[in-house]
Amino acid sequence: MHFSTLFGYCPHCGSDKFIKNNIKSMRCESCGFIMYINPSAAVAAFVEDENGNLIVCKRGRDPQKGTLDLPGGFVDDNETAEEAISRELKEELNAEVVSLKYKFSLPNLYTYSGWTLPTLDMFFSCKIKSTANIKPQDDVEAVSFMKRTEIQPELFGLSSIRKAIEKYKNGH
């Protein structure tokens, strides 16, 4: 659901005259408060094992619970994208990043609790210290290693991840 249909009252004064201002903002006709909804920053990682197989996660929570995913998540306040991807790999896989390289970004729509939030997903190629201690943690239900030729993009639940996986399969 788009935020303009989700919020009926001004978060500043409580007025019910909280209207859509434009595609990314709402405005209160009573107090003049304007609320902007800009894309949230998110990160995802392409991590290969020593044989060139991609580390793939199974989502343990909604949205898209049970579908395939890349490790990653939202960038926290006062955190760089590089810090976020390192933190997410530690939280989700118990993996220590030793090097990373930015690859590309893709827009996404992330629906959670009835609200569709725009995100800007930044993709990194990451090297980790070792795959020996990898274990699913946090919101990851399972971890597997897939050969590039065996990856099926349609099994990945989030649209930006599917598009990223297609790029990965094509050598980008």
Q: What is the pLDDT of residue 1?
A: 74
Pairing of the two strands 34-36 and 40-47: unpaired
d(CA 160, CA 123): 10
Q: List, for residues 3-48, the tens digit of each pLDDT value.
A: 888 889 999 999 999 999 998 999 999 999 999 999 999 999 999 9
Give residue 14's region: left, alpha or beta (phi > 0; psi -120 to 50). left
- Co-location of 47 and 95 in the same domain: yes
- Co-location of 89 and 18 in the same domain: no
d(CA 59, CA 68): 6
Question: Roughly how many angstroms between the first and final C-alpha of the chain, as a whole number?
Answer: 33
- Co-location of 91 and 154 in the same domain: yes
Determine the structural domain holding residue 111 and report its residue range.
40-169
Give the strands of the sheet with 34-36, arranged side by side: 18-22, 25-28, 34-36
Task: Report whether pLDDT(103) > 90.
Answer: yes
- Co-location of 114 and 93 in the same domain: yes
| Range scoring the smallest mean pLDDT among 65-79, 103-117, 143-157 | 103-117
Based on the structure, what is the number of domains in the chain? 2
Q: Which two tokens stand for residue 76?
A: 């926290």
User: Residue 62 maps to which CATH number?
Assistant: 3.90.79.10
- Co-location of 48 and 27 in the same domain: no
pTM over 0.95: no
Q: What is the pLDDT of residue 47?
A: 98
- Co-location of 29 and 44 in the same domain: no
